Structure 1
Amino acid sequence: MSEIFSKAWEYFKQHWIFLSVVSAIGVLVPALLTAVPIIKVWLQAKAGTIDYPDFQSFCTAILAQVGIFGCIGMIVLFLAIAGLIKASLKITEGGTPQVSDVFLDGGTYLKGFLALLVCTILYAIGMVLCVVPGLILMFFTVFVPFEVIGNPNAGVMDAIKNSFKLVKSDWKTTIVVFLVGYIITSVLGSTGIGLIPAYPFFYLALTVLYRQLKGQGMAAPQIDAPEPQQQY
């Protein structure tokens, strides 16, 4: 269990600059796209250029603009996470991620969007019926994006089925890695900027687990050797 996180940490240390830049785009751009319309409406109200008769109309104006920019922000986050997963898959193969590795081909983006749509519908149904089924579905579909990106021959439903099979093959390890990663992301995410290192580390840990469950070999991370002590 600890080996998964130690490998993820060593991989992260080797490529932290590249991964942090990709993660920062996914974290900061949506935040800015959300903050800009809020500040804009607030400045308009303060300057009196637009008169909001009551607090409700003021909030409605904010929500209307945040909704539009928020959708754009979610797309940016989706693209950044896809890039992190693709980079993580390459890193665990022993490669060095390049800028081109962050981007996917149009077919993979479409397949990823459709998979996200199907999973979201399943989550929504599970949450409406009862919260627990929705959480279970979220857990069992954790490897869907890895199948979409790492297994180009898999269709949308194949990716979902394969994710279920992988989780079922070792659900105890998967749930521990998922929960620990979620806790780390939540704790660091509470600081806002902490999400920048949290996202790549979390997805690296999931990538290591994903490859282990599929029986795929991984390149050994380069562990820094301790400096030799000088003898006097």
Structure 2
Amino acid sequence: MRLQCCVNGSRDVEEHPGVARTPRECAEQAARAVQAGAVDLHVHPRTADGRDSLAADDVATWVGAVRERVDVPVGVTTGAWAWTGCRSAVAAIADWQVLPDHASVNWHEPQAEPVCEALHTRGIAINAGLWTAADAERWLASPWREHTALVLLELADLPDQEEAAVQLLELVAPSGVPVLMHGEGRSTWPIIDLAVARGVASRIGLEDVLEGPDGELVADNAALVGLALRRGARTPY
């Protein structure tokens, strides 16, 4: 079985020494994760001072560095918190010179649909990030449902998120769009197990969790990929 690796997220190196601070470190972490069995990557490009970024130069540098080391799809965030060089996310995406293969769009954010349009215009696959049933209902009612390559069911850092995950899955499954289900923090490993049981994809990486399923500290993303694969995690494609 294979899965997606979320390499860095918005974490700081003080949280874990394996968190990538530079494009080179991100590329190295990505290469190790792919060698361990990941077949898809999600990364957060950053500014020189460590802020998440949608700015064209940062996206080009980080995505380009990763692609020099691996030959798998590479995606990025479009989160509203990410620095855009004092422009909107839509304008930032229009400026991108190096295009990721896919990008996540948080459906609870006000600019979700314009961001989808910007990505679609550039030929970048849309991954719709749904956190709640309300998000799912808005996405289902949107014309962008027909242009979504992957639905991300994203469960909060709380215990006992399995019921909420099943409810989200049952809402979006009739759409026929492929699903990737993942947790964060305390929900990570239970949701990976649920994704395996339900036959949908999952992801793992230092963005989501810093420990293994038994609370043990892990060395890096590759270690997390190995642990997830041994639990039967699936590929998102």
* Alignment TM-score > 0.5, same fold: no
Q: Under a length normalisation based on structure 2, what TM-score does the superposition of the two structures give?
A: 0.26
Q: Which has the higher strand share?
A: 2
Structure whose alpha-carbon radius of gyration is higher: 1
Q: Which has the higher helix share?
A: 1
Q: Under a length normalisation based on structure 1, what TM-score does the superposition of the two structures give?
A: 0.27
**Structure with more relative contact order (C-alpha pairs < 8 Å, separation 6 or more):** 1
